[in-house]
Structure 1
Amino acid sequence: MGAMKETPPFFPLGSAINDHGHLVIGGCDSMDLAETYGTPLYVFAEEDIRARAREFKREFTGRLSSSRVVYAGKACLNRAVAKIIAEEGLGLDVVSGGELEIARSAGFPMKNIYFHGNNKSDAELELALAAGVGRIVIDNAWELARLDGIAGARSCRADVMLRIKPGIDPHTHAKITTGNIDSKFGFGLEDADSAVGRILSSNSLKLVGFHYHIGSQIFEIQPFLDAMHTALGFIAGVRGRWGLIVDELDAGGGFAVQYLSGQAPPSVGEYAEAIVSFFKEECRRLDLTSLSLTVEPGRATVARAAVALYSVGVIKDIPGIRRYLCVDGGMADNIRPALYGACYEPYLANRMTERANQLYTVAGRFCESGDILAADVKLPAADPGDTLVMPVCGAYCIPMASNYNAFFRPAVVMVKEGQHRLIRRRESIEDLLRTDLG
């Protein structure tokens, strides 16, 4: 066996191409994985997740020892991922009782959990208090009043943060923008100030900090700094108006990852250098030097750690118009292209070294014209039975998967050092019928 060739930069760390022209991930031949587990199949490289987690910790805590890195679990959360995140010393942000229970079942330390969400139920607030989560992030006045009452009835005092809207345009897709004024998330600054007063009058809530998140896939660094400028100014104002000195500013996530050739975002180090430097400078200027900084990378921790493998079926050529390459998955396992125009760069996993000189539109198998995974992409001349690989599928694909068209949600495997293990089995007809009472 000769030396293996390198893959494009957005494949999982350590990926390569072997002498057969096959994609190798975590030391495992992707063709062997597809044969063993079937397709569609999601393949996670454990060492990639660990490396990204360590990189965020190194780059942020190396510049500010009091900073904290919290993984945004909505990107992809299962027991295997939760255990890796815990072992790497990151916190975890959850947005539902279900995510909290997954974390708890994996033995994740509850004190390192941040509970977000814009419409938490009373049952979820009860669960968070009973579990002893580290932070409950209050999104609105209604939730504040309910949590105050629930905590009071339990005779406990919850550590809480307020989610604020800094009113910053992050220059990303409208459907993944969350920090502007017209957002369902968080308090406007005037309402947040009133909420501070309400919390200070409570015996059941302790305000320990503020949180914001301006959006996802943000390639520009300046929006992060603009949002921080607003938030730190607000915190300084809170100290002046209420005499309150909080412990923490949670600046959320939104760090971009590379999905396409030629579209590389800033490195983690570049983000960290700009954000931490600005944070230190502003805290000195505003006399907030006791404030700690938290960041919440989700996509940037797991997106590049996984690929999706599909089997090629029908190839439909409409002369002079388009050539469709149809695969055995699609929008039910990856809604992102249909939902907000996400773009991918697919390859043929069994023919990685062949010249990509044919134009295809990769179509899914579902009964929607919008079920297109990648439009007008170049691949080698494809045949039914080839295996198509979609890189950068570790974030949001699996969490947003559905049973549309009574589709079985795909299997997920974890690979490391030539070993593979099933971390989520493929669904079956029994799974589909289990909750159908007829």
Structure 2
Amino acid sequence: MINIENRDAHLIEEAKATLIKNDLGGYTVPTHGLYPFQWNWDSAIVALGWLPFDEPRAWEETTSLLSAQWKSGMVPHVVFHKHSDTYFPGPDIWGVQNSPDSTSITQPPVLASVIKILFEETEDRALAESQIKTIVPQLIDYHLWWYKQRDPENTGLVVSYHPWESGMDNSPAWDAALEAVPCVDWEYTRRDTSHIDASERPHKKEYDRFLYLVDFFRKMNFDDTLIYQDCPYRVNDVSIISILHRATKDLLTLCEKIGVSNDQTAYLVKRLDLTEGAISKLWCSETNMFHSFDTRSNTMCKARTSAGLLPFFAGLVSEQQTQPLISVLDKWLEHSTYAISSTHPDDPNYEPQRYWRGPIWIHINWMIAIGLEDYGFSQQAQRITEGSRACIYKSGFNESFHAETGARSGGADFSWTAAMALYWLLPNTTEKG
């Protein structure tokens, strides 16, 4: 019989080694080759992995990301700190004239929630106090950008302009909305399928539209007003809305702790109220789930995905919605020892190993589990935690995991999975040093 304590200790050392291997000096790549740059929500999650054994490095991960913040307040989804030809599209395609080079879109803003954790759990209080004074104003600017530029009509629900912003690139939730986007009219060579089998990656028809949108942003000169008016893809993404809502609450808690109270924080409070009043638009009584909404066609994105559980993380599930949504989750969890698939197994677009159309993503599980605990559903939270742990016991630190077997899916030696192991799944035997 395997000694569980020895197994966990070995995994912890492997997880640390994975982060160290992927560290390029102040920022951590998700994995070499496939993703050779700094990704926004990856780095936020990765900071939690550094926290148990290298507090200064955890903070550095976040400040490195924020070093690429635009004057508008936007924090880009990829920062191109160093040249690499193993990824496409690179800075030449994006056409952004910033230093450092970056993309022109963002990603789910989990960063403020992570910073709150860093601030509360860093043992070196002098370090935490010195970092937070610089970071909080940057986070405020980022959240103000989200609300003002991505919801200029004050609907309470921000919009996304690209599936890559969701982080859930080829989720079936975007299928219909993407159909309205033209295909790019130039030839290109993908790099992702040279690292990972094509059966695990988005289809070319999706990439054609992804790249059309990249071209569109550049042609609009990255003007937020023009893009809001004319972007052919404009979606109320329930995952982004949920993560932003939780992050804004966490940011306001940080502001209170360090004595920041002004017109900006008052505005953020009002935006929370707006979202709480608007979130019911994303609830579907037919599926008993939350869904994203295509604002161009005024239709709900009916695919059943794990994004529809993230309102638990945000605290946006009403008393009337709670039990129906939990009933959906309970049946979902019956499908596999490994939990939880990114697309519901009964959804017609479910593919257990194709990127965001089925595989399990550990950082999403972490957020869902936190939300379930907040609502008092400890049994379901524990089931997701155990399923996540089973994934890393079975296959190590991979980008994602086959929804039914727990086998590797996507890239290997993956930073955010190693980070989740260190911070969440194997915390009791992790020691700082």
Larger Rg: 1
TM-score (normalizing by structure 1): 0.29
Bigger strand fraction: 1
Relative to total residues, which structure has the larger helix share, 1 or 2?
2
